Amino acid sequence: MVGAVRGASLLEGEHEMKPAMPSRNDVGMAMKTVPSSLLSRLWWLVLLCVLIAPAHAAETSSAPDPTPTTGTDTGLWHYGAYLDASYVLNFNFPENHLWRNRATAVRHNEFAPNMALAYVRKDTSESSRWGMELGVQGGYDSQNFAFLPGEREVSGADTLRQVHRANVSYLAPVGKGLTITAGLFNSLIGYESLYAKDNANYTRSWIADNTPYLMFGVNAKYPVTDDLMVTAFIVNGYYHLSHPNDQPSYGGQWAYKATPRLTLTQTLYGGPDQTNTAFEFWRFYANHIVEWKSDDLTVAASYDIGTENIANRPGSPRAFVMGGNVVARWHVTGPWAVAVRPEFYWDRNGRWTGSEQFVKAVTSTVEYRIPYKWTNTIVRLEHRWDESTGAGGGFFSRGEIQPGVISLTPNQHLVLAGILWTFDSP
């Protein structure tokens, strides 16, 4: 069955912006918090539903179901855990140990526990139609992944960012089966995951770090044919922990399996992501993915483009962002695999990264995988080169240009070692 959820396909920026739009990881910048009792209540309601769902699922599955079953119900429940730590050697030796304008793998020249999580999940079937996901997480990668620079956060964000997923789902007996999911679920925008274990490379691409990794709302997914899946969604905003207003955003996706090896996916998003919710200030974003997959080789190309008029700037200029990459992963033999990812990213107005910049990057990865029973230990060695140019471009480096202002340089070379451990029940 085709269908695209983020990170599920591959492995089975010296001119500074205005203070209203600080860069990720810039020194002295703080995110503003806006109370949102409604959203907080919705969060806790979803968590309550997730906790109740298993009992309800057990009740419904024990009764006879007149609908013929196409598979067995054994193995619908899954649980697991994940640990991710790394040491990133940054040859610029930045004074603050940070990767400027980024959300993941940001701590450099020190040991970094980037992610730890635990989860439980129940899948749906025709004879047990209710499903759920619930998980908790922590680590450096869980701190800044859920909002753009300068965006105001939902009340309780410091706690809610520790939620991995929290949703309930229902497989409705409509046609070929309509799956409705409500709560916090995996993003429908993007190819790479927040979790390095699901990706070919350890570090994430620029388009991945500046699109949502998770979504909060409702989605409905339907298989039109065996090769075509369509999905519609209503969410609380581009990033689930930002809160510029109380209006929802909307989107849709189609995923088409053109051949047994080739899948095409497009996701469209639109909605108000500023305090001014007039239609002229809506954000529109499009994500496109082409993936070719054989037994040992996977090649995927992504292209994203987004735009909105910035309401709080003189003249309300139109912001544009654009990025693309190609991910190629080759399973060489046994536990060995290699991957490469060239990419570019253009943030014309600094709306997405917080800095006006054009970025080029190339990432190369060697992987060694050690499976043992229900666990996998993955060791990755990686080199990455990034170049950031433009009015606000650059990466943190050694020294200060004045007290409290760290110097910038246009190039950055990273060499890292990452170790990933996963435990997943069958």
Q: What secondary structure does DSSP assign to 270-306, as a single string?
A: EEE-SS---GGGEEEEEEEEEEEE-SSEEEEEEEEEE
Structural Rg of the chain based on CA atoms: 21
Residue whose pair of structure tokens reads 């006879």 in the numeric block: 64
Work out how many domains the chain is built from and give that number.
Answer: 1
- Establish if 43 belongs to a structural domain: no
- Establish if 14 belongs to a structural domain: no
Distance (Å, whole) CA 165 – CA 187: 11
Give the phi and the psi of residue 291 in degrees, each rounded to 5. -125, 130
Q: If 0-12 CB within 10 Å is exposed, 13-18 middle and 19+ buried, where does residue 259 land?
A: exposed
- Return the number of other C-beta atoms located less than 10 Å from residue 66's C-beta: 6
- Record the tokens describing residue 89, joined without a space: 């050697």
- Establish if 167 belongs to a structural domain: no
Domain residues for 105?
A: 78-118+183-213+224-424
What residues contact residue 149 under an 8 Å CB cut-off, 6+ apart? 21, 22, 23, 24, 29, 101, 353, 354
Q: 175, 200, 171, 198: which is closest to 187 by C-alpha?
A: 198
- Establish if 155 belongs to a structural domain: no
- Establish if 396 belongs to a structural domain: yes
Report the number of secondary-structure helices (H) and strands (E) in the chain: 3, 20
- Establish if 163 belongs to a structural domain: no
Distance (Å, whole) CA 72 – CA 60: 15
Given a contact cutoff of 8 angstroms between Cβ atoms, the answer to whether 337 and 331 are in contact is yes
Instruction: Return left, alpha or beta for 139; rule: phi > 0 is left, psi -120 to 50 is alpha, else beta.
Output: left
Q: If 0-12 CB within 10 Å is exposed, 13-18 middle and 19+ buried, where does residue 28 land?
A: exposed
- Establish if 15 belongs to a structural domain: no
Distance (Å, whole) CA 356 – CA 389: 8
CATH number of the domain bearing residue 206? 2.40.160
Per-residue pLDDT of the chain (426 residues; tens, 9 = 90+): 466 677 765 665 333 333 334 455 553 333 344 444 555 555 556 556 655 555 555 444 444 444 433 445 668 999 999 999 999 999 999 999 999 999 999 999 999 999 999 999 999 999 999 999 999 999 999 999 998 888 889 999 999 999 999 999 999 999 999 999 999 999 999 999 999 999 999 999 999 999 999 999 999 999 999 999 999 999 999 999 999 999 999 999 999 999 999 999 999 999 999 999 999 999 999 999 999 999 999 999 999 999 999 998 999 999 999 999 999 999 999 999 999 999 999 999 999 999 999 999 999 999 999 999 999 999 999 999 999 999 999 999 998 888 889 999 999 999 999 999 999 999
Distance (Å, whole) CA 258 – CA 292: 10
- Establish if 46 belongs to a structural domain: no
